[in-house]
Homo-oligomer: A and B are copies of this chain.
Amino acid sequence: MTNIKDVAKLANVSVTTVSRVLNKHPYVSEEKREAVLDAVKKTNYHINRNAVNLSKGKTFLIGVVLPYSDHPYFGTLLKGIANAALEHNYKLVLIQTNYQKDKEKEAFIMLEQKQIDGLIICSRVSEWEVIEEYVIYGPIVLAEKNITEQVSSTYIDHYQAFYQALNHLYTNGYQSIGYCINRKNGVSSQQRERAYHDFLKEKQIPFDQNYIFDGYLNFEDGERVVQQLKQMKKPPAALIVTSDQVAAGIVTCCHNLGLQVPKDLAIIGFDNQPIAKYMGITTMEIPLSEMGENLFLQAITREKVSQKRVNVQLIERQTV
Protein backbone atom coordinates (compact mmCIF):
# COMPACT_ATOMS: atom_id res chain seq x y z
CA MET A 1 0.00 0.00 0.00
CA THR A 2 1.48 3.28 -1.03
CA ASN A 3 1.72 6.12 1.45
CA ILE A 4 2.19 9.84 1.49
CA LYS A 5 5.94 9.45 1.45
CA ASP A 6 5.90 7.53 -1.80
CA VAL A 7 3.79 10.20 -3.36
CA ALA A 8 6.12 12.91 -2.11
CA LYS A 9 9.12 11.13 -3.52
CA LEU A 10 7.55 10.62 -6.91
CA ALA A 11 6.33 14.18 -7.08
CA ASN A 12 9.66 15.52 -5.90
CA VAL A 13 8.16 17.48 -3.04
CA SER A 14 7.93 17.08 0.73
CA VAL A 15 5.23 15.17 2.50
CA THR A 16 4.03 18.47 3.85
CA THR A 17 3.25 19.67 0.40
CA VAL A 18 1.43 16.49 -0.41
CA SER A 19 -0.61 16.88 2.73
CA ARG A 20 -1.41 20.45 1.80
CA VAL A 21 -2.61 19.48 -1.62
CA LEU A 22 -4.66 16.62 -0.28
CA ASN A 23 -6.34 18.82 2.28
CA LYS A 24 -6.78 21.71 -0.09
CA HIS A 25 -4.70 24.07 1.99
CA PRO A 26 -3.59 27.31 0.40
CA TYR A 27 -0.06 28.33 -0.48
CA VAL A 28 0.86 25.64 -2.91
CA SER A 29 2.11 26.56 -6.35
CA GLU A 30 0.07 25.31 -9.21
CA GLU A 31 2.88 23.25 -10.69
CA LYS A 32 3.58 21.43 -7.44
CA ARG A 33 -0.06 20.79 -6.93
CA GLU A 34 -0.27 19.18 -10.30
CA ALA A 35 2.84 17.17 -9.71
CA VAL A 36 1.33 15.85 -6.51
CA LEU A 37 -2.02 15.07 -8.06
CA ASP A 38 -0.21 13.31 -10.83
CA ALA A 39 1.81 11.22 -8.42
CA VAL A 40 -1.32 10.35 -6.48
CA LYS A 41 -2.85 8.98 -9.65
CA LYS A 42 0.24 7.11 -10.70
CA THR A 43 0.72 5.42 -7.37
CA ASN A 44 -2.97 4.78 -6.82
CA TYR A 45 -2.58 6.44 -3.48
CA HIS A 46 -5.36 6.53 -0.90
CA ILE A 47 -5.18 8.33 2.37
CA ASN A 48 -5.23 6.18 5.48
CA ARG A 49 -8.01 7.33 7.76
CA ASN A 50 -6.53 5.72 10.82
CA ALA A 51 -3.40 7.76 10.51
CA VAL A 52 -5.44 10.91 10.07
CA ASN A 53 -7.58 9.99 13.03
CA LEU A 54 -4.60 9.42 15.24
CA SER A 55 -2.92 12.58 14.19
CA LYS A 56 -6.03 14.69 14.53
CA GLY A 57 -7.50 12.93 17.50
CA LYS A 58 -10.84 12.67 15.74
CA THR A 59 -12.62 9.92 13.85
CA PHE A 60 -15.71 11.44 12.26
CA LEU A 61 -17.58 8.51 13.67
CA ILE A 62 -20.61 8.87 15.92
CA GLY A 63 -21.94 5.96 17.93
CA VAL A 64 -25.66 5.28 17.96
CA VAL A 65 -27.05 3.22 20.79
CA LEU A 66 -30.43 1.65 20.25
CA PRO A 67 -32.18 -1.46 21.52
CA TYR A 68 -33.57 -2.87 18.29
CA SER A 69 -32.74 -2.04 14.74
CA ASP A 70 -35.83 -3.76 13.43
CA HIS A 71 -38.55 -1.59 14.91
CA PRO A 72 -40.02 1.31 12.91
CA TYR A 73 -39.68 3.74 15.80
CA PHE A 74 -35.93 3.35 15.98
CA GLY A 75 -35.69 2.81 12.27
CA THR A 76 -37.15 6.22 11.61
CA LEU A 77 -35.06 7.87 14.29
CA LEU A 78 -32.00 6.23 12.83
CA LYS A 79 -32.93 7.43 9.40
CA GLY A 80 -32.95 11.01 10.65
CA ILE A 81 -29.60 10.57 12.30
CA ALA A 82 -28.16 8.86 9.24
CA ASN A 83 -29.30 11.60 6.90
CA ALA A 84 -27.74 14.31 9.04
CA ALA A 85 -24.55 12.29 9.37
CA LEU A 86 -24.33 11.95 5.66
CA GLU A 87 -24.68 15.64 5.20
CA HIS A 88 -21.87 16.39 7.61
CA ASN A 89 -19.51 13.70 6.38
CA TYR A 90 -19.77 11.58 9.45
CA LYS A 91 -20.38 7.88 9.62
CA LEU A 92 -22.37 6.04 12.23
CA VAL A 93 -21.36 3.15 14.37
CA LEU A 94 -24.39 1.12 15.26
CA ILE A 95 -24.56 -0.31 18.73
CA GLN A 96 -27.58 -2.54 19.07
CA THR A 97 -28.11 -3.36 22.71
CA ASN A 98 -31.31 -5.34 23.10
CA TYR A 99 -31.50 -3.31 26.30
CA GLN A 100 -28.53 -5.06 27.82
CA LYS A 101 -26.39 -2.95 30.08
CA ASP A 102 -23.11 -4.53 29.12
CA LYS A 103 -23.73 -3.75 25.48
CA GLU A 104 -24.51 -0.16 26.31
CA LYS A 105 -21.30 -0.12 28.25
CA GLU A 106 -19.40 -1.01 25.13
CA ALA A 107 -20.60 2.17 23.55
CA PHE A 108 -19.26 4.21 26.42
CA ILE A 109 -15.95 2.42 26.15
CA MET A 110 -15.72 3.25 22.49
CA LEU A 111 -16.08 6.89 23.40
CA GLU A 112 -13.52 6.55 26.13
CA GLN A 113 -11.09 4.93 23.75
CA LYS A 114 -11.58 7.61 21.14
CA GLN A 115 -12.99 5.23 18.61
CA ILE A 116 -15.95 7.53 18.19
CA ASP A 117 -16.25 11.28 18.56
CA GLY A 118 -19.64 11.29 20.19
CA LEU A 119 -22.49 9.12 21.29
CA ILE A 120 -26.21 9.23 20.65
CA ILE A 121 -28.33 7.20 23.00
CA CYS A 122 -31.77 6.57 21.57
CA SER A 123 -32.95 4.53 24.52
CA ARG A 124 -31.15 3.06 27.48
CA VAL A 125 -31.16 0.94 30.57
CA SER A 126 -27.92 2.25 32.09
CA GLU A 127 -28.17 4.54 35.07
CA TRP A 128 -27.51 8.24 34.92
CA GLU A 129 -24.42 7.79 37.02
CA VAL A 130 -22.86 5.73 34.27
CA ILE A 131 -23.56 8.40 31.72
CA GLU A 132 -22.12 11.08 33.93
CA GLU A 133 -19.00 9.03 34.37
CA TYR A 134 -18.35 9.14 30.65
CA VAL A 135 -19.26 12.68 29.68
CA ILE A 136 -15.66 13.74 30.10
CA TYR A 137 -14.69 11.63 27.12
CA GLY A 138 -16.93 13.33 24.59
CA PRO A 139 -20.43 14.52 23.79
CA ILE A 140 -23.16 12.18 24.88
CA VAL A 141 -26.63 13.07 23.69
CA LEU A 142 -29.90 11.57 24.71
CA ALA A 143 -33.35 11.21 23.21
CA GLU A 144 -34.92 11.87 26.57
CA LYS A 145 -35.19 14.68 29.04
CA ASN A 146 -31.83 15.11 30.73
CA ILE A 147 -31.45 15.16 34.44
CA THR A 148 -28.10 16.86 34.64
CA GLU A 149 -26.89 19.78 32.58
CA GLN A 150 -23.87 17.91 31.36
CA VAL A 151 -25.43 16.27 28.36
CA SER A 152 -27.36 17.46 25.37
CA SER A 153 -30.74 16.08 24.56
CA THR A 154 -33.60 16.16 22.11
CA TYR A 155 -36.65 14.87 23.80
CA ILE A 156 -40.35 14.58 24.02
CA ASP A 157 -42.21 15.66 27.09
CA HIS A 158 -43.94 12.35 27.57
CA TYR A 159 -45.82 13.62 30.56
CA GLN A 160 -47.38 16.40 28.61
CA ALA A 161 -48.00 14.33 25.49
CA PHE A 162 -49.64 11.58 27.45
CA TYR A 163 -51.75 14.05 29.37
CA GLN A 164 -52.86 15.57 26.13
CA ALA A 165 -53.88 12.20 24.78
CA LEU A 166 -55.83 11.47 27.96
CA ASN A 167 -57.56 14.77 27.74
CA HIS A 168 -58.51 14.21 24.17
CA LEU A 169 -60.17 10.95 25.07
CA TYR A 170 -61.87 12.47 28.08
CA THR A 171 -63.16 15.35 26.05
CA ASN A 172 -64.61 12.86 23.62
CA GLY A 173 -66.53 11.23 26.40
CA TYR A 174 -64.27 8.39 27.42
CA GLN A 175 -63.88 7.88 31.14
CA SER A 176 -62.36 4.46 31.52
CA ILE A 177 -59.03 4.75 29.80
CA GLY A 178 -56.22 2.27 29.81
CA TYR A 179 -52.82 2.34 28.19
CA CYS A 180 -50.34 0.09 26.57
CA ILE A 181 -46.55 0.42 26.74
CA ASN A 182 -43.47 -1.59 26.03
CA ARG A 183 -41.27 -1.32 29.09
CA LYS A 184 -42.77 -0.48 32.43
CA ASN A 185 -39.40 0.60 33.75
CA GLY A 186 -38.42 2.66 30.75
CA VAL A 187 -37.81 6.35 31.28
CA SER A 188 -40.75 7.44 29.19
CA SER A 189 -43.11 4.95 30.78
CA GLN A 190 -42.48 6.43 34.16
CA GLN A 191 -43.38 9.88 32.93
CA ARG A 192 -46.52 8.50 31.42
CA GLU A 193 -47.43 6.74 34.58
CA ARG A 194 -47.20 10.01 36.49
CA ALA A 195 -49.35 11.73 33.93
CA TYR A 196 -51.86 8.91 34.16
CA HIS A 197 -52.12 9.06 37.90
CA ASP A 198 -52.30 12.83 37.97
CA PHE A 199 -55.00 12.75 35.36
CA LEU A 200 -57.08 10.18 37.19
CA LYS A 201 -56.79 12.18 40.37
CA GLU A 202 -57.81 15.37 38.64
CA LYS A 203 -60.83 13.75 37.08
CA GLN A 204 -61.53 11.68 40.15
CA ILE A 205 -61.43 8.45 38.27
CA PRO A 206 -60.44 5.38 40.28
CA PHE A 207 -57.21 3.67 39.34
CA ASP A 208 -57.25 0.13 38.02
CA GLN A 209 -53.95 -1.69 37.71
CA ASN A 210 -55.40 -3.94 35.03
CA TYR A 211 -55.78 -0.99 32.73
CA ILE A 212 -52.04 -0.84 32.24
CA PHE A 213 -50.72 -3.18 29.57
CA ASP A 214 -47.00 -3.73 29.64
CA GLY A 215 -44.71 -5.47 27.21
CA TYR A 216 -46.15 -4.69 23.80
CA LEU A 217 -43.93 -3.53 21.00
CA ASN A 218 -44.90 -4.85 17.60
CA PHE A 219 -47.86 -5.18 15.31
CA GLU A 220 -48.43 -8.80 16.19
CA ASP A 221 -48.51 -7.94 19.89
CA GLY A 222 -51.80 -6.19 19.27
CA GLU A 223 -53.64 -9.46 19.34
CA ARG A 224 -52.45 -10.24 22.85
CA VAL A 225 -53.79 -6.92 24.01
CA VAL A 226 -57.20 -7.63 22.58
CA GLN A 227 -57.23 -11.09 24.10
CA GLN A 228 -56.49 -9.55 27.48
CA LEU A 229 -59.24 -7.05 26.95
CA LYS A 230 -61.76 -9.73 26.11
CA GLN A 231 -61.18 -11.53 29.35
CA MET A 232 -61.84 -8.49 31.48
CA LYS A 233 -65.26 -8.05 33.04
CA LYS A 234 -64.90 -4.31 32.77
CA PRO A 235 -62.48 -3.49 29.98
CA PRO A 236 -61.46 0.10 29.32
CA ALA A 237 -63.42 1.98 26.71
CA ALA A 238 -60.32 3.58 25.31
CA LEU A 239 -56.67 2.75 25.05
CA ILE A 240 -53.61 4.92 24.60
CA VAL A 241 -51.03 2.86 22.81
CA THR A 242 -47.50 4.18 22.81
CA SER A 243 -46.60 2.65 19.48
CA ASP A 244 -48.54 2.88 16.26
CA GLN A 245 -47.38 -0.61 15.42
CA VAL A 246 -49.20 -2.06 18.36
CA ALA A 247 -52.15 0.24 17.79
CA ALA A 248 -52.40 -1.05 14.23
CA GLY A 249 -52.27 -4.60 15.48
CA ILE A 250 -55.03 -3.91 17.94
CA VAL A 251 -57.24 -2.26 15.37
CA THR A 252 -56.69 -5.11 12.93
CA CYS A 253 -57.48 -7.67 15.57
CA CYS A 254 -60.64 -5.81 16.54
CA HIS A 255 -61.74 -5.82 12.93
CA ASN A 256 -61.17 -9.54 12.69
CA LEU A 257 -63.18 -10.19 15.81
CA GLY A 258 -65.98 -7.91 14.79
CA LEU A 259 -65.25 -5.34 17.45
CA GLN A 260 -66.01 -1.80 16.42
CA VAL A 261 -63.39 0.91 16.69
CA PRO A 262 -63.99 3.37 18.25
CA LYS A 263 -67.43 2.28 19.42
CA ASP A 264 -66.27 -0.73 21.37
CA LEU A 265 -62.74 0.47 21.86
CA ALA A 266 -61.20 3.84 21.13
CA ILE A 267 -57.52 4.00 20.27
CA ILE A 268 -54.87 6.69 20.27
CA GLY A 269 -51.50 5.64 18.94
CA PHE A 270 -48.10 7.29 19.09
CA ASP A 271 -45.54 8.24 16.43
CA ASN A 272 -47.72 8.79 13.39
CA GLN A 273 -46.07 6.04 11.44
CA PRO A 274 -47.29 5.51 7.86
CA ILE A 275 -49.33 2.57 9.05
CA ALA A 276 -51.34 4.85 11.34
CA LYS A 277 -52.20 7.08 8.47
CA TYR A 278 -53.11 4.16 6.31
CA MET A 279 -55.34 2.60 8.91
CA GLY A 280 -56.88 5.86 9.97
CA ILE A 281 -55.58 5.67 13.51
CA THR A 282 -55.72 8.78 15.65
CA THR A 283 -52.23 9.30 16.94
CA MET A 284 -49.77 11.61 18.64
CA GLU A 285 -47.27 12.59 16.00
CA ILE A 286 -43.63 12.50 16.99
CA PRO A 287 -41.25 14.05 14.45
CA LEU A 288 -38.76 11.21 14.75
CA SER A 289 -36.74 12.01 11.72
CA GLU A 290 -36.24 15.62 12.78
CA MET A 291 -35.37 14.46 16.25
CA GLY A 292 -32.71 12.25 14.77
CA GLU A 293 -31.23 15.12 12.84
CA ASN A 294 -31.07 17.30 15.90
CA LEU A 295 -29.54 14.55 17.97
CA PHE A 296 -26.80 14.20 15.45
CA LEU A 297 -26.09 17.90 15.38
CA GLN A 298 -25.81 17.94 19.13
CA ALA A 299 -23.47 14.98 19.03
CA ILE A 300 -20.91 16.77 16.90
CA THR A 301 -20.74 19.96 18.90
CA ARG A 302 -18.19 19.59 21.65
CA GLU A 303 -18.36 23.09 22.98
CA LYS A 304 -21.78 23.62 24.40
CA VAL A 305 -24.55 21.34 25.45
CA SER A 306 -28.15 22.09 24.61
CA GLN A 307 -31.58 20.77 25.32
CA LYS A 308 -34.36 20.72 22.82
CA ARG A 309 -37.91 19.82 23.56
CA VAL A 310 -39.80 18.50 20.61
CA ASN A 311 -43.49 19.03 20.26
CA VAL A 312 -45.96 16.25 19.86
CA GLN A 313 -49.04 16.89 17.83
CA LEU A 314 -52.39 15.21 17.96
CA ILE A 315 -53.47 13.86 14.60
CA GLU A 316 -57.19 13.21 14.65
CA ARG A 317 -58.42 10.35 12.54
CA GLN A 318 -61.07 7.70 12.97
CA THR A 319 -60.23 5.68 16.05
CA VAL A 320 -61.51 8.08 18.72
Contacts and interface: CB of A to CB of B under 8 A. Distances in A.
Contacts of A112: 46
Nearest to A53: B50
| Interface bin, chain A | 35 or more
A315 B53 CA distance: 50
A24 interface: no
Contact of A220 (B50, B53, B275): B275
- Give the number of copies in the complex: 2
A75 interface: yes
Given A252-B252, A256-B255, A96 B114 contact: no
A113 B79 contact: no
A243 interface: no
Interface string A70-98: 11100110110011001000011111100
A46 B79 CA distance: 32
Contact of A219 (B47, B50, B114, B278): B278
Contacts of A76: 70
A220 B248 CA distance: 11
A50 B46 contact: no
Nearest to A288: B70
5 contacts: A48-B113, A50-B54, A64-B94, A69-B75, A94-B94
